[in-house]
Structure 1
């Protein structure tokens, strides 16, 4: 009876995605392993935009024209769209009925990721390794 309750309850999985192949590999792994265990899953695709230059260094922002700042912001939006499209293409390759939620955060990735996990009360966080080997992952 307890096993049936666990299988029937909603599982929330946050997958941090970015431009790297490792993050798409982590998403594939998640879809192939975690989401197939339960049909009642919410998959949160999280992309964290880095702080724009003008908000990090307000004094330096005055050196940039509004055109440059606008171009940087446009590039950031295009990057979000590109990453989310790639993630959705990976998702479509799997036979899963997980409910997809797209979240775009801004700021320090570790804080945004932790806050998103807390906000959604996620059961699982999946992230790529950025190609780090065993030793570097151990140190980090």
Structure 2
């Protein structure tokens, strides 16, 4: 009996419609019974914004507020991952699913995680920003396409 080739597919998710579409698209067109696929759902928690006080000796927010912001960030990550698990469960494919969550700028941690996990392909959704918005806000998918060490598949959600 011939053993199936193993593939590691990292899908960066952020809870937006674009990343959920990219995940669904990946499950439909990339994941295959011909391979032994592992789908890694990756959520990058943006670092919290800290505001130093006027003196520069401490922070504007109390530790209670900072703890609340951290709890919200963790709850949001869990909510996003749960949505993605449902999408995977609803698909017709039998695929092994791993979950990874890291703190940091999504552009950097997605590329770092992809390299660390030795993924075969990185799948990202595209927000479809125009040139101006992309220049002002930066593009995670563009950054990853230029800096990831593996092939990058950018899935653009069709306009309805």
TM-score class, shorter: 0.7 to 0.9
TM value normalised by structure 1: 0.83
Give the 5 Å matches for 1:32-47: 32-36=28-32, 38-47=34-43
Tell me which residue corresponds to 1:83.
80
Equivalent pairs counted in the alignment come to: 133
Tell me which residue corresponds to 2:13.
17
Q: Is the 8 A contact 1:47 1:80 kept in 2?
A: yes
Give the 5 Å matches for 1:1-140: 8-36=4-32, 38-54=34-50, 59=56, 62-132=59-129
CA RMSD of aligned residues (A): 2.6
Q: Is the 8 A contact 1:11 1:41 kept in 2?
A: yes
Higher relative CO (CA 8 A, sep ≥ 6), structure 1 or 2? Answer: 1
Structure 2 gap segments, 5+ residues each: 143-160
**What is the DSSP-based 3-state SS (H/G/I as helix, E as strand, rest coil) of the residue aligned with 2:126?**
coil
Q: 1:135 to 1:71 in 2, by over 3 A?
A: closer
Q: 1:57 to 1:31 in 2, by over 3 A?
A: farther
Question: C-alpha distance in 2, partners of 1:63/1:24?
Answer: 36
Higher strand share: 2
Question: C-alpha distance in 2, partners of 1:115/1:33?
Answer: 25
**What is the DSSP-based 3-state SS (H/G/I as helix, E as strand, rest coil) of the residue aligned with 2:28?**
helix
Question: C-alpha distance in 1, partners of 2:58/2:76?
Answer: 21
Range moving further from structure 2, 45-54 or 30-39? 30-39
TM value normalised by structure 2: 0.73
